[in-house]
Structures are given as structure tokens and as C-alpha cells.
A and B are shown apart, each in its own frame.
Chain A
Amino acid sequence: MSGPAVGNFPGTDDDGRAVAAGGLTVVRGRVPVLRDLSFSIPAGQITGLLGPSGSGKTTLMRAVVGVQRITSGSVQVLGLPAGSTQLRHQVGYVTQSPSVYPDLTVEGNVRYFGAMHRKGAVEAAEAIAAVGLQEQARQKTADLSGGQLSRVSLACALVARPRLLVLDEPTVGLDPVLRADLWGRFRDMAAHGTTLFVSSHVMEEAGHCESLLLLREGRLLAQLTPAELSRRGHSTDLEKAFLHIIQEAAEQPGPAAGDRKTLNGKPPEAESRDTESRDRSVR
């Protein structure tokens, strides 16, 4: 293992890292979903997790939250192993499909998840306001639109005021105005010290992040900034830049030389078999 982030474990948040993973590998059944990932997520920033559908984004997020059984390697969150009891107050997780109770009101949902963190009506009202659903607060969640539903789900995580917020595709199905609004909200939270780890398969959203993890077929292609992405991918269009980097990686099997943050330690012959099994690894 040659990842630079692995050297100084255990990573505490004192050195500015909210999450530090070393050699993280997840095999589901016999299908490798994540392979030997080493990376870190800086505290108080927005880090984007980008990659095509089926690349292992959700599994990686679940590993950070601590609900994913991992095969080998380690994930440290705020200086503790992911999933530690002490972290349950500090890590918020919003799953891709909204996980709320459709037969409760918006307020009922947010109040309930707030109660798990000893938060009351005031915090619940703030969280509902933060996602712009004040007017729907007393409506039954089942009667809301898809975009509103995912914002209820987000409010249920915001109410706990977590230090690390893990968001799996939070902007899917939202209109452009709301999407911009939500990213503004995320930047605001980061400015106040919250660490955000946000996945997306829409490359244009990468521009909102300060740091990016590029994932493809369970491997980390690179960890870089949006500016570095467009420079390395020779395009200001981040989608084109990403495609370019993927092509480059396909042309040069093995660790991409010259990128200090590319941590790809697996032999290239594993690739063809993995491509076949990729569909099954999609959660």
C-alpha cells in the first residue's frame, strides 16, 4: 500500500481531517465494490464524491457513516473508528431515497428524528426553515412532491446539527432554482464549520465542492480540486474533463503516474472481470 494518507493514522480532526480512510475494501458476496481506497476529507469543507452510477458511491458513504460492513482497511471519522457510539450524535446521513415516514407530517418527521438527538421544537422549526418547507410543515409527508420529500429527509438530518453531514445525491430530482438554493445552504453550513460529504453523478455539481473524490468501478481515480480536474481533463466543462480522465486511466492501466493522490494498487488484469460484475454491485 502506497497511499500518502495512510502514514499518519490514527487521523484525528486536529490535523484538519474529518475523515481518513486507509486501504478501505468492501466485498459484497464475491463482488468487490470498493478496492483499497485511501483518502481524507478535510474538515469544514464540502467534499464531492463523483462517479458514474454503480461506481460504489453509496457503499463508500455507508462505510463513512459506519453502517457498511467493511472487508478490510479502516475508516476514521472525527478521530474515531466509523460507526463508533460517540459518533452517532455527530454524523448525519441522508440516504439517496428519502427515508422518512410518509404517514407523518413534515413536522412530525423532523421532531421525531430530532428527539433522537435531544433536540426540541425550536431546532425542528429551524431545520424545516433551512430546507424551505415552513408552509408545508403541517402537511402529511406522503402528499408532498418528490423534491419536497427529499428536503424533508434532509431536514431530518439537519435537526441534529451534525459536525459531519453525509449526503447521498441530495439534489436528484430538484429543479435548478432549488438546487442552487441547496448548494448555497451547504456552503453556508461549511462556512460555519460543518464538514459535508456529498455524492453526485452530475458533474456540473462538482464546481460547488472544494475537494473532489473521483470514483470509478470501486477505485479512486483521483482526489483533486475542481480547478485541478479541469486542468487535468483539459476542459472547463467538468463532465468532459471527467470523461477525459477516465479515458486516460483506461489507456494507462495501473496507477496513473504523476498523480500523487491517485491510489490504485490493483493489477490491471482484474479490470475485465470487474466490469462484468459491476451491474451486480449496484446497490
Chain B
Amino acid sequence: MDAVMMLATTRRVLEQLRHDHRSIAMILVVPALLLTAVYFLYENETLPPGAPRTFDRVGLMMLAIFPFVVMFLVTSITMLRERTSGTLERLLTTPVHKADLLFGYGLAFSIMAALQSLVATAVAYWIFNLDIKGPPGFVVLIAVINAVLGVALGLLCSAFARTEFQAVQFMPVVVVPQILLCGLFVARDRMNDVLEAISNALPLTYSVDALQEIAANAEATEQMWQDAGIMGAIVLGVLVLASLTLRRRTA
């Protein structure tokens, strides 16, 4: 690891993004707009007295799912371009370590994810009065871990795509099942055994679980930290797999 090369990579990725106004809008503005849509979807629901609003449950989970989806998309395309344009091969002839590249990417998109999550969380709290027990700081933390998960999976998946079209095809394969089975639509303990077992193996499940802990408790719970730890371990594992796809010598 070399801090100079890692930070240079982070800076370069952010610089590339800076010139791409549309991607910046997608990262910063679109989640807040979608959250607004979710709020108005449930605007007129009739609730029994004392029951929590659906927005408080669904809106909260959206805060974790947005960064995952967006960062997966942005990273897999950016990395695919790096692989196909020859810049990756060129970089790998320099003294840069693979870890500098991967963590440089991870850091750049984590910064963007933190910004995204600050915007979305602020909208949820201040405009739509999101009502949960735990502090918003933890919501942002889980959102950032989710974003890094998206980055790691995007880096890995880019190795199995030859074109940008193929890279986008990983969305329904990698992302949609996690959204379906994470507990957003049906509580996990009400799923059948097979689906629940699959759900247990998918990383997004743990972030939804962590958010439910934050929603139900004013203080951080052991369960929340455990979920965050599992997420972190999965992220590291995926990054190691991604580093195996960066080869200095090819046929």
C-alpha cells in the first residue's frame, strides 16, 4: 500500500466524475427525488392510531439501497472503461499496487456516497419528518458501507463484462435479488426456508437489518454493530476477489 498512489487514484476518479455533470446529478439529486416519490406514494394511507407510517420503514431502507445501486452502476462502468481503454494495463506496468487502485476507487466513491447519503437523509429528516428512534449519523454510516459494497461488487463484476451493455446486465442479476430478498417487501422471518437461506447469504440483508435496529433503538445495539461488521467483512472479501481480476500479465 502506498498512500500517495492511493490518494492520487481517489483524486483522479473524483476529477473524472467532476467533468460528468449527469453522473453527479444521478448520485446527489436522483435519490432525493425518488425518496420524495416514495413519500407521496404513501401520503394518503390510513393508519390505525399509534402505527408507524410506511414511509418511516420504506423510506429508511431506501436510504441504504440507493447508494448501493448507484455506486454499483457507476463503478462497474468506470472500471470497465478502465479495463477496455488500456489505461488499466498501462497502470499495472507502473509501480502502483492493486490495493492502491482498489482502495483509491473505494475511497473516491465512499466520499460521493457520504455526500449522497447526507443529502437524502437530510431530505428524509427535515422535509418529510422521518420518524425513527436512532440517530441519523448511524443511518449515514450504514449507507456509506452499502455504497462501498456497491463499489466492491462493481469492481468485481466489471471483470466479467466486455462491453458497457454487458456491465449493465449485471444489475438484474446482482442487484435486484438483493433488493427483493433483503426484507423490504416481505419480512425475512415470513419467507420460506429456501428464500430465507438465500437472503442470509446476501449482503444487503445485513444493512436492512442494521437499519431496522437503528429505527427501533435510540442507542446503537450489539446487533447493529454485528450487521455492520458482517457487511465490512463481505466488502473486504469482494475486494480481494476483485484484486484477483487485475492481472499484470495476460495472454
A69 on the B face (CB < 8 A): yes
| Chain A residue, CB-CB nearest to B5 | A116
Stretch at the interface among B88-96, B161-169, B175-183, B233-241: B88-96
List A contacts of B44 (CB < 8 A).
Answer: none
Within 8 A of A (CB), among B198-251: 248-251
Is A88 within 8 A of B12, CB to CB? no
Chain A interfacial positions (CB closer than 8 Å to B): 28, 65-69, 83, 85, 88-89, 91, 93, 95, 97, 99-104, 108, 111-113, 115-118, 140, 156, 160
Is B96 within 8 A of A100, CB to CB? no
Within 8 A of A (CB), among B1-40: 4-5, 8-9, 11-12, 15-16, 19-20
Is B86 within 8 A of A99, CB to CB? yes
| Chain B residue, CB-CB nearest to A116 | B94
Q: Shortest 10 CB-CB distances between A and B: which pairs?
A: A99-B86, A115-B8, A116-B94, A88-B95, A99-B90, A112-B12, A103-B16, A116-B96, A99-B87, A103-B19
Contact of B251 among A28, A91, A95 (CB under 8 A): A28
Known: A95-B90, A99-B90, A115-B8. A69 touches B250 (CB 8 A): yes
List A contacts of B93 (CB < 8 A).
Answer: 65-67, 88, 91, 93
Distance in Å from the Cβ of A197 to the closest Cβ of chain B?
Answer: 14
Bound-complex Cα distance A89 to B5 (A)? 14
Q: Which of B89, B94, B251 has the most CB of A within 10 A?
A: B94
Bound-complex Cα distance A85 to B15 (A)? 29
Is A116 within 8 A of B248, CB to CB? no
Instruction: Count chain B residues whose beta carbon lies closer than 8 angstroms to a beta carbon of A.
Output: 25
Contact of B90 among A85, A93, A140 (CB under 8 A): A93
Add 11 more A-B contacts to A99-B87, A116-B94 (CB < 8 A).
A66-B93, A67-B250, A85-B95, A88-B93, A93-B90, A93-B93, A108-B15, A115-B5, A116-B5, A116-B8, A118-B4
Is B86 within 8 A of A88, CB to CB? no
Bound-complex Cα distance A68 to B93 (A)? 11
Is B87 within 8 A of A101, CB to CB? yes
Is A101 within 8 A of B16, CB to CB? yes
B192 on the A face (CB < 8 A): no
Bound-complex Cα distance A102 to B78 (A)? 12
B85 on the A face (CB < 8 A): yes
List B contacts of A111 (CB < 8 A).
Answer: 8
Is A103 within 8 A of B20, CB to CB? yes
Distance in Å from the Cβ of A195 to the closest Cβ of chain B?
Answer: 16
| Chain A residue, CB-CB nearest to B20 | A103
Is B5 within 8 A of A156, CB to CB? no
| Chain B residue, CB-CB nearest to A29 | B251
Bound-complex Cα distance A52 to B20 (A)? 40
Is B19 within 8 A of A140, CB to CB? yes
List A contacts of B86 (CB < 8 A).
Answer: 95, 97, 99
List A contacts of B9 (CB < 8 A).
Answer: 112
List B contacts of A99 (CB < 8 A).
Answer: 85-87, 89-90
Within 8 A of A (CB), among B59-106: 85-87, 89-96
Known: A66-B93, A99-B86, A116-B96. A104 touches B249 (CB 8 A): no
